A and B are shown apart, each in its own frame.
Chain A
Amino acid sequence: MDFSSISRRRLLQGSAALTLGTALGTRGATAADTTIGFIYVGSRDDYGYNQAHAAGAAALKKMAGLKVVEEEKVPETDAVEKTMESMINLDGATLLFPTSFGYYNPHVQKIAGKYPKVHFEHCGGLWTDKDPKNAGSYFGYIDEAQYIAGIVAGHTTKSGKLGFVAAKPIPQVLRNINAFTLGAKLANPKTTTQVIFTGDWSMPVKEAEATNSLIDQGIDVLTCHVDGPKTMVENAARRGAFVCGYHVNQSPLAPKAYLTGAEWNWEALYPKFIKMLAAGQSIPNFYRGGLQEEIVKVSPYGPAVSDAARRHADEVKARFMATGLTIFKGPLVDNKGKTVIAAGTERGQKDPELEKMDYLVEGVLGAAA
């Protein structure tokens, strides 16, 4: 049951080296002995946050020696504690991915303390060194992908007005809005982003209203940060606006209107985690990265993206991939005229100050609080 029991050899065996497996004669005897549990807060086909994780789970299902169990729509209450325990007790899971941000404190901490032999990998980057060692938290700098989407949006807009449908004014969301806007201003310094906060992660009616209201104001490119971008994408496309996606690739919902989008790349990260464990290493408790580390990615460009936009976006992407690029650097002024990052200061992705972001940069129309 333990992870040390999946050898690197078995993984190889599963992917290609069948002869090796036959030679060892162990095939089948220990197959599917590692069970991995995935827990989602919403439905796993939401074209959004949960679907991105389900895509990661699907990547693990293809690997040999792994069995994946999934449960969706688990609220952030003691229900998730029971789901984790049920996966451990009834399914024999030894690695759990409780994927919602709100699962961590207190639920994952509590269950991780209770089952020290089970590994917990939480999405959200909340782990601190006071927490159980068998728990870990990973996250991606998706603002890098938003920055590139912003460049494409800035090139595409004719009115110079972009729209952003956002859930709550918390640091993570503000960072995406700011990165998107800074990207757009690279393309056209006069671009503005109007933001509307709906107040919660999944409010389809308010998201549709916000989308319509933004388009009524003459906005012609929209993006969002809510759990399920489907509502925004479909409504905006119906009204003839262009969209940048979020979480996963929403181009099937709006093939013509979809420009690009900021996506999670869990299907690359999760197999990487499994390979680390199989090689006898442990997953770092605090694991983060952006485009370069393949934790986030940018959707393929849609048909409406101009050549100039592609070139510009590709060039910036290449810089992210090569050396890492700093999005938030001084002088940076917020939309109230206050300098938030002084000239000469660069706040790289790992800078803890960025985790506390409470401002909207110049060019964003809206209030952070």
Chain B
Amino acid sequence: MTSEVADSVEAAAAAPTGFLGRHGATIEYILIPGAALAGALVVFGIFVALFGKNPLDLYFYMYQGAFGTWFSWQNTLTRAAPLILTALCTALPAQLGMVIIGGEGALLIGALSATSMALAMPSAPPLAVQFAMAAAGMTGGGLWIMLSGGLRQYRGVNETISSLLLVYVALAILNHLVEGPMRDPASLNKPSTREIGAANMIGSIPGTEVHWGLVFGVIAAIACYVLIYHTTFGFAARVAGGNIRAAKIVGLSVGNLILTICFLAGSCAGLAGMVEVAAVQGRTNANLAAGYGFTGILVAFLARQNPLAVIPVAILIGGIGASGGLLQRRLGLPDASVLVLQGIIFVFVLASDALYGRIGFLKGKP
């Protein structure tokens, strides 16, 4: 991965200034995060070397565990699927200058809504159930984040704090329903809802073992990108994100923008919850609170809130997760080492933000 970046740098350097002038910004978007990633890997290698492990082994196992075999690729993509959707829950509101970190809550509410929908229509054909589940999951998750947006718009409550706290409210609601009214009496020691039924499961993408959540994620990411960068709505959102007073002066309805964007963001995370139920767990229980919503925040920030960039970053983080097991088994590293790596990458990427527009040879002539 890093060598490809290096190649593109050489190619770029060899190209005429006119090329750099035209594509300097794009190259910057690839070069700077790439360099930050490479830097993070080097620092992580040093960290691992301090524990007496060979960093070259580390890089080899990371590659093998994440991308080395077809099985590893599928492992990586499976882990990436929910992250794309939960990352969009942070990346979309970011266009409006809002920092929403409550994707986990929307995921849980989405899962709960989707499960309730499936359980409410026991005799419907599977396709109808699946569509209804997706609609319910997206609506549930959307309304959940819209709550944060509404609190910010109408009550001046900081959306970062409210969305985070709503995660715990969502978890409490989920636990209450799963251990109370919605509990399957047969789930004795693992309180769960009833199962949605094997027929209603959405299964895997043909020829792979990666579930359909990946496709949903990619479609959602592309749709969000088009919405933000190629529609008047998206333009309005970016204007409001850039300068809210200017947006109001030109007559944009900022309140509507906030609520709509928050709804869309939440519905992405809600869809992730629906997929976890319909493709993985088959029911709702506490297992759903696996932290996808929180990892999604990391993905969104690493992607610099660009909906399209969320896809490769989610795959990268999925890959790190997939290789984590191999690092534990082959190198005897503790599980926390993967978190250390994620932390180092995060710091490097955030710090590298300062470099944009400052690399001399990429500036070109205006």
Contact = CB atoms under 8 A, between A and B. Distances in A.
The yes or no verdict on A and B being binding partners is: yes
Interface of A: 43, 69-79, 82-83, 85-87, 89-91, 101-102, 105-106, 124, 168-172, 199-200, 355-356, 369
Contact of B326 (A73, A90, A170, A199): A90
Given A72-B334, A73-B335, A170 B329 contact: no
B115 interface: no
Contacts of B329: 69-71, 87, 91
B79 A79 contact: yes
Contacts of B211: 78
Nearest to A89: B71
25 contacts: A43-B334, A43-B335, A69-B329, A70-B329, A71-B325, A71-B328, A71-B329, A72-B335, A74-B325, A75-B291, A77-B276, A77-B288, A78-B211, A78-B280, A82-B79, A83-B325, A86-B322, A89-B69, A90-B71, A101-B189, A102-B190, A124-B189, A168-B179, A171-B189, A172-B189
Given A72-B328, A75-B290, A82-B75, A356 B188 contact: yes
Contacts of A72: 328, 334-335
B328 A170 contact: no
A69 B276 CA distance: 28
A171 B280 CA distance: 26
Interface residues of B, number: 34
Contact of B286 (A124, A169, A171, A200): A200
Nearest to A93: B329
A82 B179 CA distance: 28
Contacts of A70: 328-329
Contact of A170 (B75, B79, B188, B288): B188
B142 interface: no
Contact of B191 (A69, A82, A170): A170
Contacts of A369: 180
5 pairs of A and B residues whose beta carbons are closest in the complex: A73-B335, A76-B287, A69-B329, A75-B290, A82-B75
A42 B203 CA distance: 29
B321 A85 contact: no
A79 B180 CA distance: 27
B17 interface: no
B281 interface: yes
Contacts of A168: 179, 191
Contacts of B175: 199-200
Interface in B257-307: 276, 280-282, 285-288, 290-291
Interface in B66-110: 69, 71-72, 75, 78-79
B127 to A, nearest CB: 22
Interface in B193-237: 211
Contacts of B290: 75-77, 79
B195 to A, nearest CB: 9
Given A71-B328, A75-B290, A82 B78 contact: yes
B281 A77 contact: yes
Contacts of A356: 188
Nearest to B176: A199
Contacts of B141: none
Nearest to A175: B189
Contacts of B72: 86, 90
A200 B71 CA distance: 34
A303 B52 CA distance: 41
Contacts of B291: 75
A43 B334 CA distance: 9
Contacts of A76: 287, 290
B115 to A, nearest CB: 14
B137 interface: no
Contacts of B69: 89-90
B65 interface: yes
B165 to A, nearest CB: 16
B325 to A, nearest CB: 5
Contacts of A43: 334-335
Given A90-B64, A170-B191, A171-B188, 19 more contacts: A69-B329, A70-B329, A74-B325, A77-B280, A77-B281, A77-B288, A78-B78, A79-B290, A82-B75, A83-B325, A85-B75, A86-B75, A86-B325, A101-B190, A102-B285, A102-B287, A106-B282, A200-B286, A369-B180
Interface in B312-364: 321-322, 325-326, 328-329, 334-335
Contact of B65 (A77, A78, A86, A199): A86
Contacts of A75: 287, 290-291
A75 B324 CA distance: 13
Contacts of B334: 43, 72
Q: In this complex, which of B75, B285, B286, B321 has the most chain A Cβ atoms within 10 angstroms of its Cβ?
A: B75
By CB atoms of chain B within 10 A, which of A76, A82, A87, A172 has the most?
A: A82
A356 B335 CA distance: 35
Contacts of A74: 325
B315 to A, nearest CB: 15
A79 B280 CA distance: 10
A86 B326 contact: yes
Contacts of B64: 90
A86 to B, nearest CB: 6
A83 B71 CA distance: 11
A86 B71 CA distance: 8
A83 B286 CA distance: 20
Nearest to B188: A171
Contacts of A172: 189
A78 B180 CA distance: 25
- Residue among A87, A90, A355 with max Cβ neighbours from chain B (10 Å): A90
B189 to A, nearest CB: 5
Nearest to B332: A70
A91 B78 CA distance: 20
